[in-house]
Amino acid sequence: MRSFIADTLPHAENPYYIIIDKSDYELKVYDNEGWYATYPIVFGSKDLGDKMREGDKRTPTGNFKIIQKRINPKWGPQMLLDYPTPESYRRFNERKSQGLIPKNARIGNGIAIHATRPQEEWTVDNYYNWTDGCISVKYSEMQDLYSYIPVGTPVTVQP
């Protein structure tokens, strides 16, 4: 069993956390001193509600963390979130039991913060939601974000 001190070390070493505000189309980075940076973003669907199921192109709301960083061959830097979380599963199963989504629906996965393609930064300027539920940052700005945000960074996605 890890000690309390060991559990708090990653937070002491990583001063960053990210708040994604769907209604404002903004990704805000905070550090120990407060607001650090803001990046304009787009999503998958014009419907900015919570992700209901795989294939709906909606971006999930909730509390996540970055679990992996890698370079995608199509759009470069990406930071994978730990979706679905236990809370995501709870809401998904509740919606299934209420008949809000089909019984055979799947929750989906693979949600990331990633860049646009280099020649498609206009999608962010024009609020063109093009992803399958991910959060997309301009290619040039994602290079910067990717350079300093470590794996383990908390991410909150709010409506």
Q: For residue 74, what pLDDT band results from cuts at 50, 70 and 90?
A: confident
pLDDT value at 68 more than 60: yes
pLDDT value at 1 more than 70: no
Sign of the CA dihedral 97, 98, 101, 103?
positive
Mapped onto helix, strand or coil, the DSSP state of residue 60 is coil
pLDDT digits (tens, 9 = 90+) for 75-120: 899 999 999 999 999 999 999 999 999 999 999 999 999 999 999 9
Q: Percentage of residues in the chain with pLDDT exceeding 70?
A: 92
CB 107 within 8 A of CB 54: yes
9 DSSP 8-state letter: H
Residue for token pair 């470069």: 76
pLDDT digits (tens, 9 = 90+) for 6-15: 333 345 589 9
Token pair of 120 as six digits:
């498609």
Output Rg (C-alpha) for the chain, integer angstroms.
16
pTM: 0.89
Q: According to CATH, what is the number of the domain 4-158?
A: 2.40.440.10
Residue for token pair 């992996």: 68
Token pair of 130 as six digits:
């093009």
Distance, CA of 91 to CA of 98 (rounded, Å):
10
pLDDT digits (tens, 9 = 90+) for 127-139: 999 999 999 999 9
